[in-house]
Amino acid sequence: MSRVEPDLSALAFSRHDHDRCTATALHQAEAQAARDGLRLTPVRRRALEILLEAHRAMGAYEVLDRLAAEGFGRQPPVAYRALDFLVSHGLAHRIQRLNAYVACLHPAEPHAPVFLICRACEAVAEAPGARVRAALEAGAAAVGFTVERASVEAVGLCPTCSAAG
């Protein structure tokens, strides 16, 4: 059994080299684009960078403001299209609960995202979801339902905020 789902789960909750994880994710995105013939155009790339730098979930309009400030279009579709592109290619994820988007920190790995959302500091971490998925699919299969996509989102307290009281 290969290590398909490395434990990067606590990343958003722990101290780490921000610039480095951003650079790595961007590098992986570029590699994937080159490999799959995706067009990581300026807006799309910049949108991904914005999400990576923020390192948290951002609303579409928030991303749009940043893009507009840098000379890109200032109308909603500009942001929504870039974000949709990123999401549809696994470079970012949509957090349903927050109507927001987060960059994926390990797009190269196949993974079934499970999100842990801290209600205090708003950090969003991606936890290993293989087991949750397995349980979900088993339950669905039992009633004849075929799962195509799933979103698993938990709201609670991250270690830091939990310790802070």
Partner DNA sequence: GCTTGACTGTTACGATATAACACATGATAT
Partner DNA sequence: ATATCATGTGTTATATCGTAACAGTCAAGC
Site for DNA in 33-62 (CB under 7 A): 39, 41-44, 59-62
For its own copies, which is the closer residue by CB, 41 or 151? 151
Q: Does 156 bind DNA (CB under 7 A)?
A: no
Closest CA to 46 of 97, 92, 107: 92
CA-CA distance, 26 to 32, in Å (whole number)? 10
CA-CA distance, 34 to 36, in Å (whole number)? 6
Interacting span for its own copies (CB under 8 A) from 48-56, 61-69, 102-110, 143-151: 143-151
Q: Does 36 bind its own copies (CB under 8 A)?
A: no
Phi and psi at 36, nearest 5°, equal -100, 5
| Distant-in-sequence contacts of 109-114, Cβ < 8 A, 24+ apart | 109/4, 109/5, 109/6, 110/4, 111/4, 111/5, 112/150, 113/151, 113/152, 114/152, 114/153, 114/154
**32 is written with which tokens?**
């994937």
For its own copies, which is the closer residue by CB, 69 or 143? 143
Residue among 31, 152, 164, 165 that touches its own copies (CB under 8 A): 152
Residue among 77, 110, 156, 159 that touches DNA (CB under 7 A): 77
Residues at the contact surface with DNA, assessed by CB under 7 A: 39, 41-44, 59-62, 72-78, 80-82, 84-85, 99
Residues at the contact surface with its own copies, assessed by CB under 8 A: 9-10, 13, 96-97, 114, 116, 118-119, 125, 127-129, 131-132, 134-136, 138-140, 142-159, 162
